[in-house]
Structures are given as C-alpha cells and as structure tokens.
Amino acid sequence: MPYAWWPLLLAGAYLLGAIPFAQVMARINGVDLRTEGTGNVGAGNLTRVVGWQWGGVAAVLDGLKGVFAVLIAKRMGLGPGAAGFVGVMAVVGHNWSIFLKGRSGRGLATSAGVVLGLDPVLLFWTTGWSLAGWKIGGGVAGFLGWGLLPFVSVAMGRPLEESLVLLLLATVVVGRRIQGNVDSPRGWRPALIRAVYDSDPVMDDLPRPSEDPLYP
C-alpha cells in the first residue's frame, strides 16, 4: 500500500468509528443518551434506556465498525500490527466521536470487532470474561479481560506487532473507563476505581476535605 494512503486510511477508520449508532437510535426514540441513564453514548446505556432490542442492534453495528476497519486494512495489504492499529483508530473514533464533540461510548463492542477481524481466537478470552461478569461484576471482568489480553496474545505466541497493538487497544479501553463522565469525580483514587470497576465511587467513599484550614 502506498504510504500516501496511510493517513487517509487512519482518518477513515476514525470517522467510521465515530458514527454514534447508539445515539442515532436513541434519537429515533426521542432520547438523548448524554442526559439519560449513565450518560454514556453506547449500546449498554441504550439498552437500559430504550430496550435490549435497540441496544443489541447498536452493539452489532458498533462491532462491525471495528471488523470493517481491520479487514479493509488487511485487504490493502497491511500486516497484523498495522491493520490492528487501523482498528484501534476506529475505537478511538467511537470513544471520542467528533460528531458528539467529545467523549461518547466505552468502545467495548468496537474493540471486540477489532479482535474479531485481527485474531478471532482471542475473542474467546474477552467473551469468556464477559460471561464471567454475570458472577463477578461486569466492570471487574472487563478490566481483567481487556487488561490481560496483550499478555494472553504473547503467551499464545502471536506476532510481537499484534501483541503491541492489542496493548494499545487495552490502553484505549481502560483509559476511556478512567476518564469517566463529565461529572465524574477527579483524583487518582476515583480514576483507579473507574479503571477496575467502570463506575464512579459513591461520594461517601471519598476523603472529605479537612474542616480545619491548613493555615490560619
């Protein structure tokens, strides 16, 4: 593939990922996901607010964004590392959509699509943890499933460039969790709780400022 096409391919993957299918479907139902439910513009929040039928369709469409980005890159002759990087750009577009002027979804369905297009066998790992989420909690299961995915890739003897791009993918997924919503509390402890549990801590769990001033 000529190098001149590389920036266009990355930009196209970002714009593809940035299409907010969940928000479009929510709008059809007269809802703005940014102000309803968790405030997250994704299939999960759409399911909570509108229903599982709409959420399921959005999840499939979000997943296809990741699949198509990787498969198109492979079709153009890119190896697993470069094709995976194109897929990661689709996840970045989903998580920080230009059409929504900022943060949007968590990128789980689109990330699953990237793994499906890149190395379908590894999808069994993330899917297994998704099922385990029914028992141990979806947030913790997601953290383990995606956070450990690059190490699973290495353990299975996958090419180094593939494992590195999966590390980047895991960083994007966990990083979006850490970012939280606009009104999420800041600080290292809330960020750590969001990374592991994908939810904000209750305010009573946060340290309160001292009632006594530090200086007279």
pLDDT band with cut points at 50, 70 and 90 for residue 3: low
What's the pLDDT tens digit per position in 197-209? 878 776 544 444 3
Domain assignment of residue 183, yes or no:
yes
What's the pLDDT tens digit per position in 102-113? 778 889 999 999
- Name the residue range of residue 145's domain: 5-205
Rounded Cα–Cα distance for residues 16 and 91 (Å): 9
Are 10 and 86 in contact by the 8 Å Cβ rule? The answer is yes
Domain assignment of residue 212, yes or no:
no
Domain assignment of residue 99, yes or no:
yes
Residue 131 confidence (pLDDT) = 83
Tell me how many domains the chain contains.
1
Domain assignment of residue 216, yes or no:
no
Residue 2: alpha-carbon gap to chain centroid? 30
Domain assignment of residue 191, yes or no:
yes
- Sign for the pseudo-dihedral over CA of 99, 102, 140, 135: negative
pTM for this model (two decimals): 0.88
Domain assignment of residue 211, yes or no:
no
